[in-house]
Amino acid sequence: RVSSNGKPPKFQPPPKPVIIDRKTQKEERRFLSPEFIPPRGRTDPLKYYIERKDMIQRRKVFNIPEFYVGHVLAVTTADPHASDKSKRFVGICIQRGGKGLGATFVLRNVIEDQGVEICYELYSPRIQAIEVLKLEKRLDENLMYLRDALPEYSTFDVNMKPVPRMDHEDIPVNKLQVRMKPKPWSKRWERPKYNIKGIKFELPEHKMKAAEKWSQPWLEFDMLREYDTSKIEEKIRKELSEELEK
């Protein structure tokens, strides 16, 4: 370097290294139960606000844990006809439907070679406890194809112990590819409208190609179908956190 005065240039210390701590910078995963998000429609938002107040009220008294499709849950409900006046059912959650107070989830299990599915309402007062036994997400949001899969994929031990959860951060995704019973199935799962990634299709190539005929590649570009819920979700999350802290 050329010095202006003839003296040696002033010592410039090297820049201090900037430590980016990835662990604290990772955004905290915030879970918002899907039944809080209001559907598109022309209903007055006041109706959803009042429904949410009731849902929050119920959540304060009874703990509804965070769960996704693919988790194994045990649900105890009150039953006037049972001897102990309560019934316990263990199963894998294959579907979460409904919005607001009428939100439901379907649990499936195979008991003594008979497949059983029970649809429970999340906010029903008859439910006495919901325990999450195994946490794992699957590749799809709707596991209805388990009805046509081999029964081993739907059997879960009724007296299963809850699997201890390691991290409080990530929920593991099980990339299991399920093997199916021979066709005919209840629905044509190979068609692209179901968009299923969790089945190991053992169908011949020409059948898979024939199924692609029903694909609708323009759907993902359809602007009228877009429903951006990010802002609505933010508002609802704020409301929830305020109300639950009270």
Residue 54 binding other proteins, by CB under 8 A: yes
How many whole angstroms separate alpha carbon 141 and alpha carbon 67? 12
How far apart (Å, rounded) are the C-alpha atoms in residues 242 and 246? Answer: 7
43 near other proteins, judged by CB under 8 A: yes
AA letter at 68:
Y
Evaluate whether 148 touches 177 at the Cβ level (below 8 Å). Answer: no
Q: In the set 16, 22, 42, 246, which binds other proteins (CB under 8 A)?
A: 42
The nearer residue to other proteins, 58 or 88, going by C-beta atoms, is: 58
40 is written with which tokens? 């598109």
* Total of chain residues touching other proteins, rule CB under 8 A: 28
Query: Are 76 and 91 spatial neighbours (Cβ–Cβ below 8 Å)?
Result: no
Subset of 73-112 contacting other proteins (CB under 8 A): 78-80, 85-86, 100-102
Rule CB under 8 A: choose which of 68, 89, 121, 131 binds other proteins.
121
Least CB distance to other proteins at residue 95 (A): 18
State which of residues 18, 19, 46, 166 lies at the interface with other proteins (CB under 8 A).
Answer: 46
Minimum CB separation from other proteins for residue 120, in Å?
A: 12
125 contributes a contact to other proteins by CB under 8 A? yes
**Min. distance of Cβ 125 from other proteins in angstroms?**
4
Give how far the C-alpha of residue 198 lies from the chain's centroid of Cα atoms, to the nearest Å.
15
Site residues (CB under 8 A) for other proteins? 41-44, 46-47, 50-51, 54, 57-58, 61-62, 78-80, 85-86, 100-102, 121, 123-128
